[in-house]
Amino acid sequence: MAKVKKQPRPKAETPKGFRDYFGAEVTQRKAMLDKISEVYQLYGFDALESSAVETVEALGKFLPDVDRPNEGVFAWQEDEADWLALRYDLTAPLARVYAQYRNDLPTPYRRYAMGPVWRNEKPGPGRFRQFYQCDADTVGAPSVAADAEICAMLADTLEAVGIERGDYIVRVNNRKVLNGVMEVAGLSGDDKVDERGIVLRAIDKLDRLGPDGVRSLLGEGRKDESGDFTKGADLNSSTIDHILRFATASQDILQQVMKVATGGLQHVENTFGLENARKFTDAQIAWNSIALQQLRSLIGESEVGLEGVAELETMAELLAAQGYGPDRIVIDPSVVRGLGYYTGPVYEAELTFEIKDEKGRPRQFGSVAGGGRYDDLVKRFTGQEVPATGVSIGVDRLLAALHAKGRLGKDTVGPVIVTVMDRARMAEYQSIVGELRAAGIRAEVYLGNPKNFGNQLKYADKRNAPIAIIEGSDEAERGVLQVKDLVLGAKIAETATHEEWKDQPAQREVARGDLVSEVKKMLG
């Protein structure tokens, strides 16, 4: 009806946990995603953009995801019909899409996807309820060649966006190896699901808690600094020893392998001397076979465990054939990956350079991407097992890393601002700006209230404008324009003496006909 209900003024606020992205925040992310999709395309992956909305049923809200018991989705009910929900990741929709279109899609189906996902979680500082993911998955390829390919692609992707070789490492493990270790430790029964969950999460925290912390979690539990208590797996001490031997297998060597990868041989040589550096390099080259040997010794006769080790070995071979050695992609038994649905290889990309934390202490940047093989997701729909493997890049974290390394392009250059000295001359200002744009120069006429000229220059400053153009009736009569170099002007204002300022004026007169060429020259 036509009557408008009188309401109190609405609050102009983003909902809690959501945010807006402005200017360079949008274009820098876009530039990064463009580079990523180029690599994905190069590897033969095709774009997919699935609906943001799924039925709750298809989304698999009830996936047994032991790591995220409290995470929910944003859902609502259609008028007396299905419940719909916003996707919470890009993998569940892929499983639905593949099941729905499997007769039309090529098999294997290599696809990439990038876009927002939504989580109905308690928002916190830096923790948002809408964020970007960027995934690549191969569906219908049973061979670990598919997993190896994704690890190689992940390494290429990181380099393509600006993370240099040595600043990242892709760490690979295999859930079957973990399951083999569990088997040997007597934790393979159906009644041990909870314990296995605790063990996986404990290993995952090795980096942060160290071996003693993990030991507590495998045993009676652990009280953290704040006094909170985390329930342990209550394993006996020999089982705990066995698991710890596995999780920390060759961590020392791995540390050094990664130091070589990170700092380069020269760095290691400077720090440890030539002789030791050689040893480390040898260790690095030999690393994957050392690791495989150690793993074999820990899984004994476990069939699934042996299968896992064999798969890791195949992956290492395939990767080596393409030149991806342990300086880029390394076998690391401590990689777990939280998600319950992984069934084979798991992998994650870690950035190894240091940044300062909130308290100014140096710490490693950490993980920016991860994934693995999940052979059961499509089965939910079709009843048939469809092998699949894929990676998800944490877009915001990777952007933050590029920011920390100074690898992001500068903010978009602001437009050239044509100021308004004389409102009656607006048509002329429009024609100036038209000429500039025709020459490919970002430009605009000031469209606010032109009365106060100072406001126009303040506006130009806020827009990060490189140049302001001024044409009053005096200039118009003489067929000239004033061109003000705002970048130079700011520099002069900061540093120059009055004399210098006179010699190198930031503002000069230009013939009307020379405007475009002069502006081009000034912009370089």
Q: How far is the CB of 191 from a second copy (least distance, A)?
A: 10
| Distance set, CA 5 to CA 1, 2, 9 (Å) | 10, 9, 12
Residue 9 DSSP code: P
C-beta of 269 vs 471, nearer to a second copy: 471
Can you tell me whether residue 413 is helix, strand or coil? Answer: coil
**Is 384 annotated among the ligand-binding residues?**
no
Kindly state the tokens that stand for 161.
């966006």
Beta carbon of residue 68, minimum distance to a second copy (angstroms, whole number): 13
Contact status, residue 18 vs residue 130, Cβ threshold 8 Å: yes
CB of 298 to a second copy, least distance (A): 26
Tell whether residue 133 is among the known ligand binding residues. yes
What is the residue whose two structure tokens read 């029964």?
Answer: 189
For a second copy, the closer CB: 108 or 344: 108
Q: How far is the CB of 226 from a second copy (least distance, A)?
A: 25
Tell me whether residue 191 or residue 228 sits nearer to a second copy (CB atom). 191
Q: Which is nearer to a second copy, 98 or 365 (CB)?
A: 98
Is 488 among the annotated ligand-binding positions? no
For residue 258, what is the enclosing H or E element?
helix 251-272
Count of residues in the chain: 524
Q: Which distant-in-sequence residues (6+ apart) come within 8 Å of 446 by Cβ?
A: 417, 418, 419, 420, 456, 459, 460
> In the complex, what is the shortest distance from the CB of residue 316 to a second copy, in angstroms, rounded to a whole number?
10
CA 363 vs CA 201, 252, 329, 334: distances in Å:
21, 18, 21, 19
Q: Is 89 assigned to a binding site? A: yes
CB of 144 to a second copy, least distance (A): 10
Show the tokens assigned to 102. Answer: 């499997």
Closer to a second copy at the Cβ: 75 or 355?
Answer: 75
Q: How far, CA to CA in Å, does 417 sit from each of 152, 471, 478?
A: 46, 12, 21
d(CA 479, CA 92) in angstroms, rounded, equals 65
Task: Pick the closer one to a second copy by CB: 150 or 206.
Answer: 150
By beta-carbon proximity to a second copy, the closer residue of 112 and 365 is 112
Number of Cα atoms under 13 Å in the Cβ half of residue 227:
0
Which CB sits closer to a second copy, 49 or 514?
Answer: 49
Instruction: Tell me if 508 is assigned to a ligand binding site.
Output: no
Burial level of 126, CB count in 10 A (0-12/13-18/19+)?
exposed
Is 342 assigned a ligand-binding role in the annotation?
yes
Other C-beta atoms within 10 Å of 233: how many? Answer: 22
d(CA 259, CA 271) in angstroms, rounded, equals 11
Q: Which phi and psi angles does 482 have, rounded to 5°?
A: -95, 130
The answer to whether 374 is annotated as binding is: no
Q: From CA 211, how far away is CA 246, in angstroms rounded?
A: 11
Are 391 and 154 within 8 A, CB to CB?
Answer: yes
In whole angstroms, what is the distance from residue 198 CA to residue 222 CA? 12
Contact 119, 292 (CB under 8 A): no
Q: Identify which of residues 299 and 483 has a Cβ nearer to a second copy in the complex.
A: 483
- The reply, when asked if residue 28 is annotated as ligand binding, is no
CB of 14 to a second copy, least distance (A): 5
Q: Least distance in Å: CB of 412 to a second copy?
A: 7
119 assigned to a ligand binding site: yes
Rounded least distance, CB 41 to a second copy, Å: 6
Q: For residues 139 and 373, what is the distance between their CA atoms, to the nearest angstrom?
A: 10
Question: Binding site for L-histidine, residues?
Answer: 89-91, 119, 133, 137, 337, 341-342
Question: Binding site, residues?
Answer: 89-91, 119, 133, 137, 337, 341-342
